[in-house]
Amino acid sequence: MVSEFMLQQTQVGTVLDFHARWMVRFPDFAALAAANEADVLHVWQGLGYYARARNLHRAARQVVAQHGGVLPDDLAAIAALPGVGRYTAGAIASFAFDRATPIIDANIARVLARLLDLREPIDSARGSAMLWQTAAELLPVSGGRLHNSALMELGALVCTPRQPSCQSCPVRAHCCAEEPATLPVKKPRRKTVALAEDCAWTVRDGTLLLEQQTGPRWRGLWKLPALAAPPRDSRLLLALEYPFTHHRVTLSVFAARAPGQLAAAQRWVGLDAIETIALAAPHKRAILRLAATIKARG
């Protein structure tokens, strides 16, 4: 369940270390349920999309409260946990409990779209429904784990995105794709939108002014205080770019004077303690770079 949550928006190679660290810190549902949110976000720090960490935390509390700390093996009960969508529920039921439940990930979607020669965009309601229906129809009565793993491996190793190895494909006889490399079809991508994010760098006696996010994005994480606009009389210290959904955000950090009074969500944090708190990843990058510059200058 932990790996499925982590893999929702992150590649396997990145997840491996985080997963190992997470399982040492939270070896079971009871340990995770008992942790406070700041601890949970700190261990998740660097994986991004923090809603996953919050949902996993809430799911652990639900498993402890409603299922005695043991994950239920029933698909409906798994699907009722926070942050568990159709794919994640099916993947947990299938990989953890060997249930014959359909799942659709990118590899399986590609394989099925080609087997069907599906011209409908797979990210449309109709295309997605056709894939789920086909995945359900192909399931064996038992052995969901092996079946779903095999479909994923077929997509990863044989029915690859650009040059599928149709000559050596074990399901070639059942495949309707005439031009497999053109499949699957997807809806046109949204255009990338440029966004500017201006922040303040305020240092006093070896401490840095930070503020905690309260909105949905990065909620609970710490970041540099936001500026409504770049200050006229200030120096730009650093600018870096990062992606956020379909946005390309330019984070600009300006030197700023300490405010007369701190806002409720603001706090001074020792520059030497930065690594111990949960920071939004782009802000952490900016802070560590600027802190290193200060240190180098002595």
Contacts with ligand SF4, residue ranges (CB under 6 A): 111, 114-115, 158-159, 164-166, 169, 171-172, 175, 177, 180
Cβ closer to ligand SF4: 156 or 274? 156
Smallest distance, ligand SF4 to C-beta of residue 183, A? 8
Within its chain, how far is the Cα of 1 from the centroid?
14
Q: How far is the CB of 264 from ligand SF4 (least distance, A)?
A: 56
Residue with tokens 């305020």: 202
Helical residues (DSSP H) of 35-180, grouped into ranges:
37-44, 51-67, 75-79, 86-97, 106-116, 125-138, 144-153
User: Given its phi and psi angles, is residue 68 left (phi above 0), alpha (psi -120 to 50 degrees) or beta?
Assistant: left
Task: For ligand SF4, give the closer residue by CB, 166 or 238.
Answer: 166
In whole angstroms, the minimum distance from the beta carbon of 111 to ligand SF4 comes to 5
- Cβ distance to ligand SF4 smaller for residue 51 or 158: 158
Distance CA 181, CA 85 (A): 29
Q: Rounded to whole angstroms, what are the CA distances from 104 to 32, 86, 121, 229, 287?
A: 28, 9, 14, 44, 39
CB atoms within 10 A of CB 165: 11
Instruction: Supply 84's token pair.
Output: 């568990």
Specify whether 153 is catalytic. no
CB of 175 to ligand SF4, least distance (A): 3
Closer to ligand SF4 by Cβ: residue 177 or 209 = 177
Catalytically active residues are 4
